[in-house]
Amino acid sequence: MDRLLKIARSGTPDTGVQFRKSAYGKDGIQSFLRDVLAIANTSVEGDRHIVVGVDFDNRGRKHAQTIDAEDFSGKPSYQALANEFIEPPVRIRYKPVSVDGKRVGVFEIGDCQDRPYMMRADFSESLRRGDAYKRVKNAPVKMGRRQLMELFELKFRDSVSAGDIEIGFPGEIIHKELALPTCDLSSVPSALASMKLEEMLDIRKQTRRSGSTTMVARLTHARLYGTEDPYVDRSPEDIIQELSQIRGKYRNHDSHFLFHEHAEQLQLVVINQGDEPIIDASIEIALPNHNSFFVADSPPRRQVDERFIARTPDEIASYPAVSLKDDAINITAKIGDIPVGEPVAVFASPLLLCIGSELSGRRFGMRYRLHGQNLRAAASGLLKLTFR
């Protein structure tokens, strides 16, 4: 943190450090993606930084203004945005620091050795797939064919062939298919709570139509919740509203059920069969999404008595970056250097899954792309998950 504070307080704009007056927020996503591309593609050693909440006046004097604490809450998730739109993957950490009593933010973009970094999907009409930027005189400038060719030539010099890379599930030999057990998801806490509320809703509707007393509702409540839980006379509208909030109320309980009590841990290994180490490797994985297929986007909170305690920053940082979309689940992870001939775990902490019994007998494809500074091209392939 002291290092980030020093950059925010004493740093000056250059190709590896950018200052921005205000937070990006939900309305500045295009600017965020463009700035990350530009600073990731610049020719500097080590980490790069974007400082938000700091500006300079006409005399070059630095001024800080407070960034809303909500901007650090993960909404929007800046790492998830980078995972979705930028390739190869970049590692981004976003931390608040205090400058002159005001909270500003510092994005730290990890050592970017796998240039060029480009848009992997369209974001808008002016920021399209394949676009790449580079910082020139402290401003992002779109790269042309010549600049991209220079970076690709550097990348391919003394490079390793993707054909020398093998990726799969660990074991005595590397497996390309993994069988995982399923479980009954009807006992997920929010599902149980919803079933009880729906039964109470039916009873309340019946008593309202018949004009009878609440005795039946009281008896039903005692059966569902026990006599120690006092009955509260709620209208059908009240119960419907509670049903709409049930997922949020039981979020931590559901996460504990799915990714602690019934979790399956998934790990991959990579073997470099070439003649030289792969430098600064990272991986992208895509899985189909399904309402009975759950992948944790962070380690579940630890339950202590009736409380749920947040995981440590190191535990959270070691978990793969997971982006949940309507039709796909995207996962990225930094691996680091991969030596010759030794199996290397892809994830610092295994990926946590939970599969509902509805998927029993089904099979999912798991597509991957491995990037590396000296890989001639990304190593890609397809693994298979079967559910029993």
In the chain (388 residues long), the average pLDDT of successive 10-residue segments reads 79 83 91 94 87 85 87 84 89 89 90 86 92 86 87 71 88 91 87 73 68 62 65 70 74 86 93 88 92 90 85 86 87 91 92 93 94 84 94
What is the C-alpha separation between 225 and 140, in angstroms, rounded? 60
* 233 shares its domain with 302: no
SS3 323: strand
Residue 157: the pLDDT is 64
Residues 136 and 267 grouped into a single domain: no
- Residue 30 is predicted with a pLDDT of 94
**The predicted structure's pLDDT at residue 207:** 65
Q: Which of 203, 233, 256 is the last residue of a domain?
A: 256
Same structural domain, 106 and 143? yes
Q: Are 170 and 376 in contact (CB under 8 A)?
A: no
- Burial label for 356, CB within 10 Å (0-12, 13-18, 19+), is buried
State the pLDDT at residue 189: 83
DSSP 157: T
pLDDT in the model for residue 310: 84
Cα 249 → chain centroid: 22
CATH number at residue 18: 3.30.950
Say what the pLDDT of residue 70 is. Answer: 87
pLDDT of residue 76: 82
Of 48, 52, 53, nearest to 108 (Cα)? 48
Domain match, 228 and 147 both: no
**CA distances, 303 to each of 298, 306, 312 (Å):** 15, 7, 13
Q: Say whether both 12 and 139 belong to one domain.
A: yes
CA separation for the pair 207, 89 (Å, rounded): 58
Q: What is the domain range of residue 353?
A: 162-183+262-387
Q: How far apart are CA 165 and CA 171, in angstroms?
A: 17
Amino acid 244: pLDDT: 72
Residues 43 and 77 in one domain: yes
Report strand pairing: 139-142 vs 133-136.
antiparallel
Of 228, 230, 231, whose CA–CA distance to 216 is shortest? 231
- Nearest partner of 368 among 310, 284, 300, 295, judged by Cα: 284
Q: What is the DSSP string of 203-226?
A: HHHHHHHHT--SHHHHHHHHHHH-
β partners of residue 133: 142
Number of domains in the chain: 3
- SS3 at position 281: strand
**Where do we find the tokens 């997971």?**
322
Question: 190 with 179, same domain?
Answer: no
CATH number, residue 357: 2.60.40.10
The verdict on 269 and 242 lying in the same domain is: no
Does residue 70 share a domain with residue 194?
no
Pair 227, 329 in one domain: no
359, two tokens: 């998927």
- 197 and 247 within one domain: yes
What SS3 class is residue 189? helix
Domain end residue (candidates: 226, 256, 286): 256
Within this chain, do residues 330 and 235 fall inside the same structural domain, yes or no?
Answer: no
What is the spatial distance between Cα 343 and Cα 340, in angstroms, rounded to a whole number? Answer: 9
Tokens of 164: 């020398």
1 contacts: CB under 8 Å, gap ≥ 6: 95, 97
pLDDT of 381 reads 93
Which residues contact residue 290 at a Cβ distance below 8 angstroms, ignoring those fewer than 6 apart?
359
Is the overall model pTM greater than 0.85, yes or no?
A: no
Residue at a domain's end among 240, 256, 272: 256
Q: C-alpha distances in angstroms, 53 versus 81, 190, 209? A: 20, 40, 59
